[in-house]
Amino acid sequence: MSAQGNSGVQLLLEAEKDARNIVEKARQYRLQRLKDARNEAAHDVEEYTKFKKDEFAKFEENASVLYKQSEEESKQEVVKMIESIKSDSSVNADKVVDEVLALLLDVKY
């Protein structure tokens, strides 16, 4: 009976050793999967960040072009307005001077 008991204990020890090996392999596999998932997530974040930075750079470039166009149009409009004012003032200068003199010389008691 002791030989049979000894072999039973030996079988249990081997089964326990096999179970430990299986558990250790499962832990290692899980840890490797976690590392792989982290690396994949970091790669995805990197790609997304690059994509968004490129998208922002394009947006910024378009906005800059539009800003410059708008600024140039505004400058041209201001120049036209100044020319119009100068033209109007040269045309109406004599008339304004005559009216101002008329008001100054028209003394009422």
What's the start-to-end Cα distance of the chain, in Å?
Answer: 149
pLDDT for residue 4 is more than 70: no
The DSSP 8-state label assigned to residue 49 in this structure reads H
Q: What tens digit of pLDDT does each residue of 19-50 get?
A: 999 999 999 999 999 999 999 999 999 999 99
The helix (H) or strand (E) run that includes residue 93 is helix 2-105
Residue 94 has a pLDDT of: 85
Where residue 109 falls among pLDDT bands split at 50, 70, 90?
A: low
Report the pLDDT value the prediction gives residue 50, as an integer from 0 to 100: 97
DSSP 1: -
Whether the model pTM is above 0.95: no
